[in-house]
Amino acid sequence: MNVMEIDAELLSPREINSQVKAAACEYDKIIIKNPNAKHYLIAGVTEDVEIELDGSVGYFAGSMCDKPKIKINGNAGWFVGDNITDGEIIVEGSGGDGAGQGIYGGTVIVKESVGSRTGEIMKNGTIIIGGNSGFMTGIFMMGGRIIILGDVGDDVAESIIRGVIYVKGEIKSLGYNAKLEELTFEDTLELEETLTKYGMDVDDYSEFKKIVPESTRPFYGH
């Protein structure tokens, strides 16, 4: 494997992103040392490349990416994986608000807990949270799936249009247009396949609750 290492200690986010985009055309893997929780890292990368950040990142990490596989060996700030269209982002620690906001595809994984509004206005793709997720998780969700292994806060799936949310822990309250639906055997198989792939296997998949839209046209009629 052809690997490049970038020391981000003295570089600005713009300089880091410029070097990453140039290296992504030539290298199979890029390792970024000392990201030091800087904001807007790895924005707009469209190459099929592995990128590993050896530390925590700030806001909008991995925003608007297509294809790369990004691993963050620390925590992430607000809006990790914002508007990605394909690829994979794995956060080994915790995340802030809006994880996976607006994604069109790909996978965003946060191994520990996150803040509020996870998966807001997401269109497709998969978001997996290993811990808890805050209020209004899945607000205005238009497609895709969210899997929460811990608890979820108030108004989950507020104004959901399409998509599905699976919650293993407690649900504080459902939002407008959200309802619980019976978990099927096919759902448990899908959950097991997905979570096992990322080393997040659980003991009893039948404990998941399934949240879906009550109507696909909730803002029309009665």
> pLDDT for 182-217, tens place per residue?
999 999 999 999 999 999 989 999 999 999 999 988
222 within some domain? no
151 within some domain? yes
200 within some domain? yes
pLDDT of residue 219: 76
> pLDDT for 64-115, tens place per residue?
999 999 999 999 999 999 999 999 999 999 999 999 999 999 999 999 999 9
Res. 222: pLDDT tops 60: no
**DSSP string covering the chain:** --EEEEE-TT--HHHHHHHHHHHHTT-SEEEEE--TT-SSTT-S--SS-EEEEES---TTTTTT--S-EEEESS---TTTTTT--SSEEEESS---TTTTTT--SSEEEESS---S-TTTT--SSEEEESS-B-TTTTTT-EEEEEEESS-B-TTBTTT--EEEEEESS-B--B-TTEEEEPPPHHHHHHHHHHHHHTT---S-GGG-EEEEES-S-TTS--
Provide the domain limits for residue 144. 3-213
29 within some domain? yes
Averaged over 13-38, what is the pLDDT?
98
Distance (Å, rounded) from C-alpha 51 to C-alpha 29?
Answer: 6
218 within some domain? no
220 within some domain? no
Q: Kindly indicate the confidence band of residue 221, based on its pLDDT and cuts at 50, 70 and 90.
A: low
**184 contacts 165 by C-beta, under 8 angstroms:** no
Can you give the CATH number for the domain in which 192 is found?
2.160.20.60
> pLDDT for 118-127, tens place per residue?
999 999 999 9
219 within some domain? no
Distance (Å, rounded) from C-alpha 89 to C-alpha 186?
Answer: 26
CB atoms within 10 A of CB 79: 25
> pLDDT for 117-172, tens place per residue?
999 999 999 999 999 999 999 999 999 999 999 999 999 999 999 999 999 999 99
Averaged over 216-221, what is the pLDDT?
74
Distance (Å, rounded) from C-alpha 161 to C-alpha 123?
Answer: 10
Q: How many domains does the chain have?
A: 1
Name which of 55, 97, 100 is nearest 81 in CA terms.
Answer: 100
pTM, whole model, 2 decimals? 0.96
12 within some domain? yes
pLDDT of residue 220: 64
Distance (Å, rounded) from C-alpha 84 to C-alpha 44?
Answer: 9
